[in-house]
Amino acid sequence: MLSRRVAIVFGAGNLLAAVLLFVGVFVALPARWWPVDSGAAVLIGLELVSGVALLANGRLARRLAVVAAAVALALGMAVVTTLALTASWLAGVYGPVGRGGALILVLVSALALPYFVVWPAIQLVWMPPGRQP
Amino acid sequence: MDAARATAMTLRVLTWTLLVWAGVTGLACFAVSRAFALRADGASGRIVASVWSHGQIIARAVVTDAAEPAPALDAALASNPGATRVDERIVGEGPVVTRPIAALPMSLVPGRDGLEVTLDGRTEYLTPDELLARQAYDRGINVAALGLTAGLDAELALAILAERFGVPVTGLLDRAKVRRFRVLRSIPGASPPRVITAETMTDEDVRSGAIAAGRFLARGVDAEGRFRYLVDAPTNRTLSGYDWPRHAGATYFLAQVAALLDDARINWATLRAASQLRDHAMVECGDNRCIGSDRIVDVGSTALAVIAFAEIAKTKLDPAYSLVVPGLTAFLRAQQRSDGEFMHEYDRSERRRIDVQFLYYSGEAALALSRAHSLLHDPADLDAARRALARLVGPGWSFFGSRYYFGEEHWTCQATDDLWDRAPNAQALDFCLRWQAFGHKLQYEAGETPFDAEGAYGLGPLLTPRLTPVGSRSEAGIATLDAARRAGSPASELSTLELQMRSSLALLLRHQFRPGLRHLLVEPDAVEGAMPASEVDWQLRIDFAQHTGSALVRWLSLGR
């Protein structure tokens, strides 16, 4: 069973991830594109609901957190893979992306990885089957 | 099994999942990169030979050897005196992504790659020359918020191909096989042009480049003194739009060339452009005079007009222009806040200053006041210029991260140099040296991109480097070099900056239309000396030639 302290940390972390994703996609990105926007919207919703449920010690909090973490991990891995494949395609077309391009790609990955790969992975490992918050 | 049991994960499973993911992604990246790289196969070695006349293809043949007989080409050359045969030899091919359609624009390297389309057993080549002549590169994806355009105009390219095949555009991509190909261009019988590099560039190259840019602008000044503000180079069409700050800046550069050359046509064009400012654009702004035509006017137009008028008076092209400077500098000083910053707009109806700030204007005003002081020795101008510069390089650019990020400070650094002998500002020189060092980090070296970009600025190979920032940063860099020499900066710092400038100027000279790819232009003589926006964007705005030309003139006046 998750301790109250861990539930609060996970809840706050999920809310932070939701805010970061909202700012990153709906404020920072200069154009709207439905595949990105809808994926982000779904994940923001899950992170918000699970975060609030964990903080409120709700009955379905653990299940919601597991679902949110699984979806975040899947989408996060998909995004990083897509970025890497896009960079590889561009490198095939244009030649090596160079120091500047590589730096930008590494920075983008570094922004996405902690919140949408590492964080949900920690949650999934920390919440083994059957445990309740 | 409940949902929680189905989705929760053990550490072992997670580790394996991540390891497999990373491995598969790495392999996939390698495969994708290899698959889309150019390789010599299929059509490689073939030559797409075209005969061009006045910017249009009038005959084409695909041959395997330049010496292979091509009667259609010979006939076209014989019946069109002045036509040019151009050979585009295919040196590599690769696949393109046509789905999603947004991927197609980014599948071609601008200016280097064309499209090879096969439909029902027939192959058509849309070559880089054709795409350049139709200005199809860097028109595909527009990110307005960032002011970026990139990629092929796929809609235009497909329309050309559909017309050539005689089929509708719709469904063309579904039925056709599409590949990209890279070419090497040559003109049979013509010797390859000399390539100007940082190492080979001479002062004569620089001087003739500056004069050619000046002549291009001068040819575009009409009887009333207005420039051809924006020109589409391939068709030589004048496009819409006008802007007083850029008119004034172009007039300033013409005055610089007039002093360099003393050519009657350039002198006359300079004075017509200046009189357009003085007699038609100078209006009442409260108790002072300013440049503009609308109710709301900006500081930039007046500042650049002062710089132009001061140059015309200083070089004795028409000393009477010194008489109109004080009224304009009074306006600039009236717009200055107590902290040195300028209020960039003025409402003429309400006689009210508007405290907003835009790019460039404060630096322009600082330089204008400095130039006015050099000409007329009014201490109020010097004091205002000094305070403006102190603000620009001090509190005006002081925030967390300001050491790692810079705006476009070309006017600021020209003001730093201009003021150095009368009001030296070591902080400003340090600022400009740091800005140039920042630029040095972003400056492309040879072979770093698929483009001819050595000396340009940018990040990564995807965006075709823009040439105007190279021109404006060179103006500033040469000014900084000049001031740094007088300040006794270390020789190593100076030599790095000098090489950086040589590299940029050589790039600008390589891309100047002298004569450029004449066969792609309807009227090549009309755009001789012009500066394009980039290697593939051939819209010619007056400030492109101005920034490049002013940088070249500065280089000539630098005491080396």
DSSP string, B398-435: -STTTTT-----HHHHHHHHHHTTTS--HHHHHHHHHH
Nearest CA in chain A to B36: A92
Burial A27-63 (b: 16+ CB within 10 A, else e): eeeeeeeeeeeebbeebbebbbbbbbbbbeebeebbb
For the four alpha carbons of B195, B205, B545 and B187, in that order, the dihedral sign comes to: negative
- pLDDT surpassing 50 at residue B159: yes
Write the pLDDT tens digit of every residue in A67-122.
Answer: 999 999 999 999 888 888 888 887 787 776 655 666 677 777 778 888 888 999 98
B166 secondary structure, DSSP code: T
A32 φ/ψ sector (left φ>0, alpha ψ -120 to 50, else beta): beta
Range 158-187 of B in CB contact (< 8 A) with A: 180
B228's CB contacts (< 8 A; 6+ apart) are B220, B222, B238, B542
CA distances from residue A9 to A2, A60, A75, B427 in whole angstroms, order as listed: 11, 17, 22, 47
Helix (H) or strand (E) holding B208: helix B203-219
- Using the Cβ of B430 and the Cβ atoms of chain A, whether some distance falls under 8 Å is answered with no
- Within chain B, what is the greatest distance between any pair of CA atoms? 94
Which of B2, B33, B462 faces A101 most closely, judged by CB atoms? B462
- The mean pLDDT of chain B is 93
Nearest CA in chain B to A27: B145
- pLDDT surpassing 90 at residue B150: no
- The alpha carbon of residue A19 is apart from the nearest alpha carbon of chain B, in Å, by 22
How far apart are the C-alpha atoms of B340 and B333, rounded to whole Å? 10
Write the pLDDT tens digit of every residue in B475-497.
Answer: 999 999 999 999 999 998 899 99
- Using the Cβ of A74 and the Cβ atoms of chain B, whether some distance falls under 8 Å is answered with no
| The two three-digit tokens of residue B305, written as one number | 């007009």
Nearest CA in chain B to A85: B29
How far apart are the C-alpha atoms of B503 and B171, rounded to whole Å? 47
Query: Given an 8 Å threshold on Cβ–Cβ distance, is B145 in contact with A31?
Result: yes
B489's CB contacts (< 8 A; 6+ apart) are B429, B433
Mean pLDDT of B503-507: 98
Mean pLDDT of A54-58: 90
Strand order in the sheet with B122-126: B56-63, B47-53, B84-95, B177-186, B113-119, B122-126
Write the pLDDT tens digit of every residue in B109-146.
Answer: 999 999 999 999 999 999 999 999 999 999 988 777 66
The pLDDT of residue B3 is: 43
Helix (H, G, I), strand (E, B) or coil at A20: helix
For residue A81, the chain B residues in CB contact (below 8 A) are 21, 25, 28
Which of B10, B35, B448 faces A92 most closely, judged by CB atoms? B35
Long-range contacts of B171-176, Cβ-Cβ distance < 8 Å, separation of 24 or more: B172/B117, B172/B119, B173/B98, B173/B99, B173/B101, B173/B104, B175/B119, B175/B120, B176/B117, B176/B118, B176/B119
Q: How far is CA A111 from the centre of its chain?
A: 10
- Using the Cβ of A38 and the Cβ atoms of chain B, whether some distance falls under 8 Å is answered with no
CB atoms within 10 A of CB B487: 13
How far apart are the C-alpha atoms of B268 and B254, rounded to whole Å? 10
Mean pLDDT of B422-433: 96
- Using the Cβ of B22 and the Cβ atoms of chain A, whether some distance falls under 8 Å is answered with no
The pLDDT of residue B338 is: 96
- Using the Cβ of A35 and the Cβ atoms of chain B, whether some distance falls under 8 Å is answered with no
The pLDDT of residue B146 is: 65
Phi, psi of B60 (to 5 degrees): -150, 145
How far apart are the C-alpha atoms of B135 and B237, rounded to whole Å? 13
Nearest CA in chain A to B113: A93
Write the pLDDT tens digit of every residue in B362-387.
Answer: 999 999 999 999 999 999 999 999 99
CB atoms within 10 A of CB A118: 14
Mean pLDDT of B23-29: 92
The pLDDT of residue A100 is: 62
| The two three-digit tokens of residue B558, written as one number | 């630098």
- pLDDT surpassing 80 at residue B282: yes
- The alpha carbon of residue B140 is apart from the nearest alpha carbon of chain A, in Å, by 15
- Using the Cβ of A28 and the Cβ atoms of chain B, whether some distance falls under 8 Å is answered with no
B376 or B560: which carries more pLDDT confidence? B376
Residue with token string 């060179």 = B474
The pLDDT of residue B527 is: 96
- pLDDT surpassing 50 at residue B315: yes
- The alpha carbon of residue A84 is apart from the nearest alpha carbon of chain B, in Å, by 7
B444 secondary structure, DSSP code: P
- Using the Cβ of B194 and the Cβ atoms of chain A, whether some distance falls under 8 Å is answered with no
Q: How far is CA A105 from the centre of its chain?
A: 17
| The two three-digit tokens of residue B122, written as one number | 């027939």
The pLDDT of residue B2 is: 46
Query: Given an 8 Å threshold on Cβ–Cβ distance, is A93 in contact with B458?
Result: no
Nearest alpha-carbon partner for A13 in A116, A112, A128, A103: A116
Which of A29, A62, A88, A132 to mutate to probe the B interface, most B CBs <10 Å? A88
Which of B29, B180, B450 faces A88 most closely, judged by CB atoms? B29
Confidence of residue B6 (pLDDT cuts 50, 70, 90): very low
| The two three-digit tokens of residue A61, written as one number | 């909090």
How far apart are the C-alpha atoms of A67 and B6, rounded to whole Å? 10
Confidence of residue B239 (pLDDT cuts 50, 70, 90): very high
CA distances from residue B412 to A35, B155, B317 in whole angstroms, order as listed: 44, 42, 26
For residue B36, the chain A residues in CB contact (below 8 A) are 89, 92-93
For residue B25, the chain A residues in CB contact (below 8 A) are 80-81, 84-85
The pLDDT of residue A133 is: 46
Write the pLDDT tens digit of every residue in B78-115.
Answer: 999 989 999 999 999 999 998 888 789 989 999 999 99
Which of B7, B14, B461 faces A66 most closely, judged by CB atoms? B7
Is B60 in contact with B164 (CB distance < 8 Å)?
Answer: no
Helix (H, G, I), strand (E, B) or coil at B186: strand
For residue A71, the chain B residues in CB contact (below 8 A) are none
Q: How far is CA B176 from the centre of its chain?
A: 36
Query: Given an 8 Å threshold on Cβ–Cβ distance, is A125 in contact with B108?
Result: no
Mean pLDDT of B223-230: 96
